[in-house]
Each structure stands twice: as C-alpha cells, then as structure tokens.
Amino acid sequence: MGSRWKDPRRHLWLYGLAVPLSPFAAWVLVHYLHLGVFWAAGAIVIAVIAPLVDRFVDQDRTNPPEEVMKSLERDKYYRRCTYLYLPLQYAGLVFGCWTWVNSPMGPFEKFAMAATLGVVGGVGINAAHELGHKRTNHERWLAKVALAQSFYGHFYVEHNHGHHLRVATPDDPATARFGESYWRFLPRAVVGSLRSAWSYESARLRRRGRSPWNPVRNDILNAWAMSVGLFVALVAAFGWQIAPWLVVQAVMAVMFLEAVNYLEHYGLLREKRPDGRYVRVAAPHSWNSDHVCSNLFLYNLQRHSDHHANPMRRYQTLRSMPDAPQLPAGYAVLVLTSLVPPLWRRVMDRRVLEHYDNDLSRINIDPRKETEILARYSAVT
C-alpha cells in the first residue's frame, strides 16, 4: 500500500503562497475594480475566503501510511514550498512600501495594506515555526529571516526551548487559561515569552562562558538585528512616511500569531505525576482542526497535537489525532472569534468542560477568574 500511496494534497500546498502574493493581488484588484477595500486582500484571504472554503469542504482526517513516513519526510518538494514563501514574503513587503508612497491612498487604504502585510508577516511567523524546528542550520537561519518582518525574533528561541517544555501548564506564557480573554492573554504572552526567551538564551551563553550581550552569538539579538537592518533599509529606500505603517503591520502580525497561540491550548492542562512533575505532552493537550483550507495556508499547524508529540516532524507527515480535542472550525474562523470574548466563551468554554468531563480541577483556570468560574460551574460539576 505504501509504495502506491500518493499525497492527495501534494500540489495543494502551493495554494498557501496566495498569502504572500496578496499584496500584488491587492494592487491588481484596486487598479481594475477601483475599490480601496481590496488593499486588505491579505486579510480577506484569511478572514473570508479561507473560512468559506473550510465551511463547504469536508474535513480531511486521513493520515499517510506509516510505511511512507520516512520517504515523505525526505521529499524536498515540501520544504521548497516553505522556502518559496520567504522571497515572496519580502517581495510583497517591498511592494507594499512602494504602494504606500506611490499609490493614491488615504489613511484607511494605507491601514488596509498594513493589514495585508500583517497577515503575510503573521503567516510568515508560522513558516518560521516550521523551519525553526528543523536540525539543519540553513533552515534555522531562514526562520530568523521570516521573523524579521514582524520584529519577533525571540520567538525562535522561546517557542522551541520554552513553549514546548511548558505547554499546557500555568507556567507557559503561550498557553491561554480558561476564562482568560484574548485581550488579557496578548500582553501576558508577549511580555512573558520575551522574558522567557531572554532567560533561556542568556543562561545558554553563560554556560558556554560567553556574554549574553554578544550580538553574534545571541540568537535573540542577531534576529532583532535583522529586523533593524530591514526596517532601516526600507525607510532609507522609501522615506520616513512608511515608518508608522511598518510598525502597524508588525503589530498586526504579532497579534495574528498570538491569537493562534491563544486558541491552540486554551484551558488545557497536563496532569501531574506522583513526583510533582507534569506528564509528557500528549494528544489531549492541544486543540486540533482538520479543516483543509486553513491547514494548507498554515502548513498543517492545526494538527497541533502531533506537532507537540513530534516537534521535529515535517508538516506533510503530521497526523490527525482522534484522541485530541477538536475545534469547531478552522483557525481562520477562530482567530476572529477570539477577538470577541463573549462569543469565544460561548463557543469554547463548554468544549473545555466537556473535554475534562466537567471536572474543574483538571482545567487550567485563569487565577484572576477562579472564584467566578468555580461559582458559575460548581453546579455543573
């Protein structure tokens, strides 16, 4: 069976490149349709097109046969799909800067282009996520390149050495707690991940007898240096007028990333062993989704349980895990849902409770909301 198996989505992974191509699509649509809203083409792809496709296309829960996994991992076609994202990402960024200067755009339209570039940068962080987990030096370097647009280079350190160790525990800044809104989670995640990344990186360098302030050896500082160099070059090329919009697009990219972090482990908690240590990360500690379009745009990120169980595994071999808690929609829909806390609670809180059989002691509850939550759901338990 394995020798005859063909990946039915092999060529569909190229559809993910619609995201970095969206700044160019925006210009074409505005040029011919004369509607400034299309400067937000990147946001439209993620917020409108992807959810519609996910709604009307059946979920795909099929997995590659075990006997083809090694050959599928070695197939260089799949990594070239992620490599190709980067030149398109930066071509789109340069083109977006050009439109801010040369196209007849009002403030709203410039913001719309910033939203498009923010989506490109946010999905670029996901490309960096895929590349940064790999053992090859050039892929890890490319991960930093992908992060430069969003000025979020410390993600390269924190995600691998912090989040993957502490996921689904109260100690992880990237794990959202039950009852915690996205707007409370966002500053906690940004500040907490930065502190954690610096703590890890400085400790790593000190163990090797090096200063943490060495910009060559410190993976946070050299990643930030890439961002500074990029922003300085763009401002030098196009003028100071693009500087505020560069900041806006970077902020929107980070908000997109942290919205994804918010939904991936919301309310989930690893059990403790008798010795007080947390059990090994398993399928029940990540929310999963098998909605096709969102997975194509995000390199199977929604198969998140298998990613945490096997972080070195390449995206094309990630498996759907039947014992993982399942999201009601793809990431594209739920990112938008997370921005409206009452709607998010209505959609997700009951799913968290069902996942833990209404046992509040097994849920990762926001300490600030613990009294309120225990009072609200004590009758249920």
Q: What tens-digit pLDDT sequence spans the chain (381 residues)?
A: 445 788 999 999 999 999 999 999 999 999 999 999 999 999 999 999 999 999 899 899 999 999 999 999 999 999 999 999 999 999 999 999 999 999 999 999 999 999 999 999 999 999 998 898 877 889 989 999 999 999 999 999 999 999 999 999 999 999 999 999 999 999 999 999 999 999 999 999 999 999 999 988 999 999 999 999 999 999 999 999 999 999 999 999 999 999 999 999 999 999 999 999 999 999 999 999 999 999 999 999 999 999 999 999 999 999 999 899 999 999 999 999 999 999 999 999 999 999 999 999 999 999 999 999 998 887 555
Question: Which residue in 20, 29, 134, 6 sits closest to 79, CA to CA?
Answer: 134
Domain span holding position 15? 2-352
Number of domains in the chain: 1
Residue 376 lies in a domain: no
Residue 373 lies in a domain: no
Q: Tell me the Ramachandran region of residue 217: left when phi exceeds 0, alpha when psi lies from -120 to 50, beta otherwise.
A: alpha
Residue 89 lies in a domain: yes
Q: Are 158 and 196 in contact (CB under 8 A)?
A: yes
User: Quick one: tokens of 237?
Assistant: 């090329």
* pLDDT for 379: 59
Residue 377 lies in a domain: no
Residue 378 lies in a domain: no
Identity of residue 4: R
Residue 367 lies in a domain: no
* pLDDT for 41: 96
Residue 381 lies in a domain: no
Identity of residue 129: H
pTM for this model (two decimals) = 0.94
* pLDDT for 380: 55
Kindly list the distances between the CA atom of residue 77 and the CA atoms of 39, 121, 130, 135, 208, in Å, as whole numbers in the listed order: 32, 23, 15, 18, 37
Residue 379 lies in a domain: no
